[in-house]
Amino acid sequence: MYDDGVLSELDGLLDKMCAAEPTALADGESIESLHRCLARLEAVATRSTAAFDASREWESDGARSAAAWLAATCHLPQAGARRCVRLGRVLRHLPLVEEAWLSGDIGAAQVSALAGARTPSAEEAMSRDEEMLVGFARRFRFSAFARALTYWRHYADPDGTEKEAGDQREGRRLHMSQGFDGTWLGDFVLDPITGAIVYKALSRIEDELFEADWAEARSRLGDRAGVGDLARTPAQRRADALAEMARRAGTAPADGRRPEALFTVLVGYETHRVGGL
């Protein structure tokens, strides 16, 4: 047990912060600082959890694993507990990632992405390029960092990314069922390419419906019309767009032009200017 009072001191500071009015820490500088501190604390907790895992102290409580102990003792979902242990183990092999997380320069989302990219066939490349990838995580917005990491993965582990794409394709699914009151319920998972095709078609129709809703609102209220005056909510427009997409598919000519195929072109990673993302 760490006995120099650091956890008690932290508890005391958190008590003061919890007792403060939310507006006392509501300026931009404070929000940024709070999220940096949150990232640092999560990094410490993850690193310590990995040490707890390695010590096997959890065995004394009859737990089957450190993740099982964590889920039961800290009331975490199993997936979250396993993720914490997994990230802690990976940090042992990514010292620069650990350093950046402990400093608050990156957060759990970036660390999870980097850990996921460290596949067995990409371990050597990750060790070589860790400094560069951490630099991307520090400088870029998350979406741009994720794209840069994807480019890197295609270069460092082409077989792995091809297998992942195949797994995503095989994992596609759609379920629809009719409820007792006659309404329809459903959910689906699509691979990136198929999802992009569906999303593009659905968004195009949704935009048409949005323009129609604006025209109707302006005809009723003139320039006073606002978003709150539209006849449909965004969710309702998406539902109507899906129905309209089905109607158009049913009336499309047999010799109609199908959407063009979507291609991804990968260039040499050394020559690609990722900084331009």
Q: What is the DSSP letter of 191?
A: -
Q: How far apart are CA 253 and CA 250, in angstroms?
A: 9
Looking at 91, 125, 156, which one is the last position of a domain? 91
Give Cα separations from 101 to 29, 116, 245 (angstroms).
19, 16, 45
State residue 277's pLDDT score.
47
Surface-to-core class of residue 202, CB atoms within 10 Å of its CB (0-12 exposed, 13-18 middle, 19+ buried): middle
State residue 194's pLDDT score.
86
State residue 86's pLDDT score.
94
State residue 256's pLDDT score.
67
**DSSP sequence for 144-177:** HHHHHHHHHHHHH-HHHHHHHHHHHHHT-EEEEE
State residue 195's pLDDT score.
87
Judge whether 182 lies within some domain. no
Judge whether 261 lies within some domain. no
Judge whether 32 lies within some domain. yes
Judge whether 76 lies within some domain. yes
With 0.75 as the threshold, say if the pTM is over it.
no
Q: Measuring CA to CA, which residue among 79, 84, 9, 4 is closest to residue 42? A: 84
Six-digit token string for 4: 């120099």
Residue type, 22: P
Domain count, the chain: 3
Per-residue pLDDT of the chain (277 residues; tens, 9 = 90+): 555 688 889 999 999 999 999 999 999 999 999 999 999 999 999 999 999 999 999 999 999 999 999 999 999 999 999 999 999 999 999 999 999 999 999 999 999 999 999 988 889 999 999 999 999 999 999 999 999 998 898 888 776 666 666 677 788 899 989 888 899 999 999 888 888 899 999 999 999 999 999 999 999 999 898 989 999 999 999 999 999 999 988 887 777 676 665 555 555 544 444 444 4
70 and 128 in one domain?
A: no
77 and 105 in one domain?
A: no
Q: How far apart are CA 115 and CA 94, in angstroms?
A: 9
Quote the domain boundaries for residue 105: 93-170
212 and 136 in one domain?
A: no
Judge whether 131 lies within some domain. yes
Q: Are 98 and 91 in contact (CB under 8 A)?
A: yes
